[in-house]
Structure 1
Amino acid sequence: METIWRLGSSGVPVCAPLQTNTEADVVVIGAGITGLTTALPLVEAGQRVVVLEARTVGGGVTGGSTGNLYTTLASGQAALCRKWGDEVSADVVWARSEAIDDIEALIRRFSIDCGFRRQSAYRLLIGDGQHSDRSLNDERDALCRAGLDIESAESPGLPFDSWGIRIPDQAQFNPLHYVQGLASALIGEGGVIHEQSPVRRVDAEEGVVETDTASIAARRIVFATHTPKGVSLLQAGMVVSREYAVAARLRNGEYPEGIFWLLDPFHSLRSYRHGDASYLVVVGEKHKTGEHVGDHYQLLREYLSNHFDVESFSHQWSAQQYNSPDGLPYIGRMHGHDNLYMATGFAADGLVWGALAGRLIADEILGHANPWQARFGSRRITPGKSALQYAKENVTVTKHLARDYLGTESIDSFEEIARGQARVATKNGEKLAIHRTEAGELKVLSAVCPHLKCIVHWNAPESTWDCPCHGSRFDTDGEVIEGPAYRPLSRAGGTG
C-alpha cells in the first residue's frame, strides 16, 4: 500500500532511532503535521525538543491524507451549526482559515516544495440528486452564517451532471512533502528527530518516555499521535473509522481542478500532478475500524471507472479518523497531568486541525495567549453535546467484547488455515490471530488487543489486525501500526 504523495519524495536528513538515554524540555511523540508544527516554534524559542516517530516522518495519517486544506468541515457545516450554533461554527471557519494561512507562511519561509495551490472546494449533488436540494440549501445557509463567501456551481468541470456550492480560496498540497520540509527546517533549527522509535511507555509522574532501546526524561510530553497512547477517558467516546483512497491515470487527460465533495452519499475527488503526469484521486468507503465488509479499494476503482475514462490505476492507501463526541477536536493539556498534552478528534479534517493544534500546544507550553485555546481545549466537558455518542460507543464496545469472546470458533489444527488466509480462532482456550502468508509462512499471535483486551479483527484489503473497540492496528508480525496501544500483539506458542 503506497500513497501517491511519495512520488518525488526527497525525504529528510537521516534520523536514526533513539539509542541512548537523554533529557529534553519537550518530547513530541509523532512526526506528522501536528507533532512537527508543535516542535518547530518550541525549538525556535530555545526549548530542547526531541521528536520520536514510530516509523518515518509523515508516514502515518498525515502521509495518508487527501492533501486538501479547507476552512469548513468535510462532513458539512450545517451539522456543526445545529449542534453548536452560529458563533462556534464561525469560530471553526476562522480558526481553520488562520491555520491554512500559517501553513502557507511556513511553506514560503522555508521554501518547501510541496505543490501548494489555492483552489476552490465544491459540495455537489450529482445525477438526479440522491440527497435532497434541502440538504444543500441548509449547507449553503450554514456556510454563509459562518462568514464564508460561496457561489453556485452549475458546471464545476466534472464529466457528469452535477451542481451545488463553490467555496473559493481553499488549498491543496502534497502533505508528505510538506512535513518532510518541516522536519528539515526543524533539524536545521536544532531540533532532534528519531525515526523507527516506537514509544512503549510514558510515565507522567516521572516525566519519562521509553522506547525499546532508551528513554528520555522531559518536563513536558506531547502526544501528537492522532489519539493519545495508553488509556484515556476520551477514547470511550470516539468513533474510529477508516477511509480509503485510489489514484488513477485518465485516457483523455482532462483532470478536474479543485476539492470535490460528492453527496452520493459521499466521495471526495481531487487531481494531483507530479512532473508531466497527472492523477485523479477518489476517497470514500468509510467504515468503523475493525468492521470490514468487502474490498473497499475495488469499490473505489469501480466508482472511478463508472464516472471517468480510466486508463490505469496507480496507487491505493487508507487513513484513520477519530470523530470526537461533540464534533470539535480536543487540543491541549490532558486531564490529570499538567505535563501531558494531546490533540485528537480531528475526524476527516486532520491536516488543518493538526496545523492549528501544533500552534495551540506550542503556545500553551510557552505561556503565550491564544484565542482558540478555550474553544478547543481538551479539558472541556460538554455532556449535552457528547453524551449520546459516549453511550453508543460504549454499547458497541460491550457488544464486540461479548460477541468476540463468546462467539469465536475453535480450531483443532493450523492446517485449516490456507495460504493467504487469516482468521481469529480459539485453540486450547486461547484467542489467536492466525495468518498464513502466500508463501506458506504461518504467523500466530494473541488476538487480544493489549490496549483494553478487545479481540482484533482481520482487515483483508490491508493485511492488518484491527481492534474494533478503540482503533489500535497491528501488522501481521503484531507490531503496532497506529492507535492507543503501546505494545505489539504478543506471540502465541504452539504453532505446529
Structure 2
Amino acid sequence: MESIWTLGSRGVAEHPSLSGEADADVAIVGAGITGLTAALPLAEAGFKVMVLEAGTVGSGVTGGSTGNLYATLASGQAPLRHKWGDEVAAEVVRARGEAVDHVEALVKRFSIDCQFQRQPAYRLVADERQHAGHDLNEELDALVSAGLEVEMTNAPGLPFDSWGLRIANQAQFNPLHYVQGLASALLGEGVVILQHSPVREIEAGKGRLRTDEGSVTAKHIVQATHTPKGISLVQAGMPVSREYAVSARLSSGEYPEGILWVLDPFHSLRSYRHGDDQYLMVIGEKHPTGEHRGDHYQLLREYLAARFDVEAFTHHWSAQQYTSPDGLPYIGRMHGHDNLYMATGFAADGLVWGTLAGMLIADQILERANPWQARFGARRITPGKSALQYAKENATVTKHMVKDYLGTEKLDSFDAIAPGQGRVATVEGEKLAIHRTEAGKLKVLSAVCPHMKCIVHWNASESTWDCPCHGSRFDTDGEVIEGPAYHPLARSGEKL
C-alpha cells in the first residue's frame, strides 16, 4: 500500500540506524514535515541537530497526506469562528498563511522539485439537500472576516453540478518530494538524519532517548511524532481518526484543478500529474481509529466510479489524524519538562500546522520571540472549550476497555482463522491478536496495547492492529507503525 507521492521518489541518502551512544544539542524524533522544518533554523544557528526516524524520511503521516496547503481549516472557518471568535479565527488564518509562504520560500531557496503551485480551494455542495445542511453564507462571512479572498462560484472541471466558495491563493505540492528535498538540504547544513531508528524511551529528566541499538543525550528533545510518545495528558482529550485515499486515471473528461472539498458530507478531490500521466484522487471515509466499518477503499473507488469516467485505479493509502479538544494544535514545551517539546492536534490540516510547529519550536529553542507561541502553546489550558471533548474521549476509552475485556470471543482452535483474516480472541485467559497470512502462516501476538493496556482491533482494510483508545497502530509482526506506543505488541506462545 503506497501513496501516489512515491511516484518518482528520490529518497534521501541512506543512513544506518543509531548504534551506540551519541550526543546532540537537539534530538528530533520524526523526519516528517514538523521535524525537518524545525531542524533547518536550528542547524543554521549552529546547533548540533540529530533527527531519528523510525522508518524513512516522510514515510509517516506526511507521506500519507493530501498535499494540500491552505490557510483556513478543512472543517471550515465558521466553526472555528463560532468557538474562538473573530480575533482568534483571523489569527489562525494569518499564522497558517505564513506557514504556506514558508513552504514556498524553502521550495525556491533549495530548488526542491515537488510541483509546488498556487491553487484555489473550493468548498462545494452538489444538491439542495447538501446545501440545507451547510450554511455557505455563514462560511463566506467567516472567511472574509478572517481576511481571505473569497467568492461564490461554480467549480470548474467537475462532471456534476456544484456550487460554493472559491478561496484564492492556496497551494498544492507533492509532500513526500518536499520533505525528501528538505532532508537533502539539511545534510548540507550538518544535520544528522538516522533512519530505521524507532525510539523506545524518552527520559526527559536526563535529556536522553533510547532506541533498540543506542541512545542519544541532548539538551532539547523534540517529539515531531504527530502525537507525543508515551503517556501524556493531552491524549486524554484528543479523538483519533483515520482517513483514506484512492487515486485513478480517467478514460475521458477533465481533471479538476485546485483543492475541492465536497460537502456530501465530506470528500476531498484533487488532481496530480507525474510525467505524462495525470491522476485524480479522492480522500474521505473518515472514522475513529480502531472502529472499522467495512472496506473504506472500495467505497472511495465506488465514489469516483459513480462520478467520473475511470479507466483504472492506481494507488490507495491512508493517514491518521489527532484532533485537539479545543480545535487548535498543541505546539511547544510540554508540561513539567522545559527540554521536551511536542506538536500535536493537527486534525486534517497537518502539513500547514506541521510547518508552523517546526517554525515555533525552533524559535522557542533559540529563544526568539514568535507572535504565535502563546496562541498555540502546548501548556495552555482552555477548560471552557475543552471540557466536553475530554469527557467524551474518556467515556470512549472506558467503553472500549469494558467491552473489549469482557466481550472478546473465546477461541478453542486457531483453525478458525482463515488466510488473510485477523481476529482478537481469548485463549486460555489471554487476549490474543491472531492473524493468518495469505500464505497460511500464523502470527500470534498479545492483543494488549503496550501504551495503556487497551485491546487492539483488526483493521482489515490495511491488515494492521489498531488501538481504539489513543491510536497506536501495529503491523502483523507487532511492530509500532504510529501512535503513542513505544514498544511492539508482545509475542505470544502458540499453544493451540
TM-score band w.r.t. shorter chain: over 0.9
Q: Which residue of 2 aligns with 1:321?
A: 321
Residue 433 of structure 2: aligned partner: 433
Q: For residue 82 of structure 1, report the CA deviation from its aligned partner.
A: 0.5
Q: Which amino acid aligns with 1:322?
A: Y
Which residue does 1:113 correspond to in 2?
A: 113
Contact residue 43 and residue 191 of structure 1 kept, 8 A: yes
Partner of 1:54: 54
1:495: Cα distance to partner?
4.4
Question: Which runs of no fewer than 5 residues in structure 1 stay unpaired?
Answer: none
Instruction: Read off the aligned partner of 2:110 and give its amino acid letter.
Output: F
For residues 410 and 155 of structure 1, what CA distance do their matches in structure 2 show?
53
**C-alpha contact 1:411 1:427 (8 A) present in aligned 2:** yes
Does structure 1 residue 230 correspond to structure 2 residue 230? yes
SS in 1 for 2:106: helix
CA offsets, 1:390-435, max 9 Å, x none?
Answer: 0000000000000000000111111111111110000010000000
Q: TM-score, normalised by structure 1?
A: 0.99
Q: Counterpart in 2 of 1:244?
A: 244
Aligned equivalents of 1:149, 1:344: Cα separation in 2:
29
Output the CA distance in 2 between the equivalents of 1:263 and 1:36: 33
Aligned to 1:8: 8
Bigger mean CA offset, 126-135 vs 54-63: 126-135
Q: What amino acid is the match of 2:413?
A: S
SS, match of residue 243 in structure 1: strand
CA contact (8 A) 2:144 2:150 kept: yes
My pick for the range that moved more, 444-453 or 415-424, is 415-424
Please give the residue correspondences for 1:175-194 in structure 2 after superposition, counting only pairs within 5 Å. 175-194=175-194
Tell whether 2:442 aligns with 1:442. yes
1:494 and 1:282 map into 2 onto residues whose CA distance is 41
Deviations 1:152-204 (A, max 9, x none): 11243211000000001000000000000110011111000000000000001
Where 1:21 maps in the other structure, the secondary structure is strand
1:415 aligns with 2:419: no
Aligned length: 496
Matches of 2:122 and 2:134 in 1, distance apart? Answer: 17
Checking the alignment, whether the CA contact within 8 Å between 1:122 and 1:164 is kept in structure 2 is: yes
1:133 positional shift: 7.1
Change (3 A) 1:204 1:155: closer
Aligned CA RMSD, in angstroms, stands at: 0.8
Secondary structure at the aligned position of 1:391 is classed as helix
Between the aligned partners of 2:405 and 2:426, the Cα distance in structure 1 is 9
Whole-Å Cα distance in 1 between the matches of residues 40 and 53 of structure 2?
Answer: 15
Q: C-alpha displacement at 1:131, in angstroms?
A: 3.6
1:95 equivalent in structure 2: 95
* Distance in 2 of aligned mates of 1:338 and 1:160: 53
Q: Decide whether the 8 Å contact of 1:65 with 1:351 is kept in 2.
A: yes
* CA distance, structure 2, for counterparts of residue 253 and residue 131 of structure 1: 26
Residue in 1 aligned with 2:266?
266
- The one-letter code of the counterpart of 1:176 is L
Query: Contact 1:156–1:162 at 8 Å: present in 2 too?
Result: no
Alpha carbons of structure 1 residues 399 and 134: separation in structure 2 relative to 1, 3 Å: closer
Does structure 2 conserve the Cα–Cα contact (< 8 Å) formed by 1:444 and 1:495?
no
Give, as a single letter, the amino acid of the residue that structure 1 aligns with 2:10: S
Contact 2:124 2:155 in 1 (8 A): no
Residue type of the alignment partner of 1:191: V
Unaligned residue ranges in structure 2 (runs of 5+): none
Structure 1 position 212, deviation (Å): 0.2
Match of 1:348 in 2: 348
Q: Deviation at 1:149?
A: 1.1
Q: Distance in 2 between matches of 1:24 and 1:186?
A: 15
Report the residue type matching 1:267 in the other structure.
Answer: H
* AA of the residue aligned to 1:262: V
Which runs of 4 or more aligned residues in structure 1 lie more than 3 Å from their structure 2 counterparts after TM superposition?
Answer: none
Give 2:487's aligned residue.
487
- Rounded Cα–Cα distance in structure 2 between residues aligned with 1:495 and 1:313: 42
1:357 maps to which residue? 357
Partners of 1:484 and 1:266 in 2: how far apart? 28
Aligned partner letter, 1:423: R
Shift of 1:20: 2.1
Cα pair 2:121 2:166 within 8 Å, conserved: yes
CA distance, structure 2, for counterparts of residue 187 and residue 308 of structure 1: 43
Match of 2:332 in 1: 332
Quick one: percent identity of the two aligned structures?
74
**Distance in 2 between residues matched to 1:267 and 1:111, nearest whole Å:** 32
CA deviation after TM superposition for structure 1 residue 134, in Å: 5.5
In structure 1, what is the Cα distance between the partners aligned to 2:130 and 2:79? 18
Q: Which residue of structure 2 lines up, in the alignment, with residue 20 of structure 1? A: 20
Supply the AA of the counterpart residue of 1:31. Answer: A
Separation (CA, whole Å) in 2 of partners of 1:179 and 1:250: 29
Asked whether the equivalents of residues 158 and 254 of structure 2 are also in contact (C-alpha less than 8 Å), the reply is: no
Equivalent AA in structure 2 for residue 298 of structure 1: Q
1:286-325 correspondence to structure 2 within 5 Å: 286-325=286-325
Distance in 1 separating the partners of 2:420 and 2:375:
48
Tell me whether 1:453 sits opposite 2:453 in the alignment.
yes
1:132 is displaced (CA, Å) by 1.7
The answer to which of 16-25 and 297-306 deviates more is 16-25
Q: Deviations over 1:118-170 (max 9, x none)?
A: 00000000033424276111111110111111011124321100000000100
Is the CA contact (8 Å cut-off) linking 1:122 and 1:165 kept in structure 2?
Answer: yes
Contact 2:29–2:199 (8 Å) recurs in 1: yes
Contact 1:226 1:344 (C-alpha < 8 Å) held by counterparts: yes
Q: Provide the rounded CA distance (Å) in 1 between the counterparts of 2:128 and 2:87.
A: 34
Instruction: State the shift of 1:382 in Å.
Output: 0.2
Q: Distance in 1 between matches of 2:236 and 2:401?
A: 14
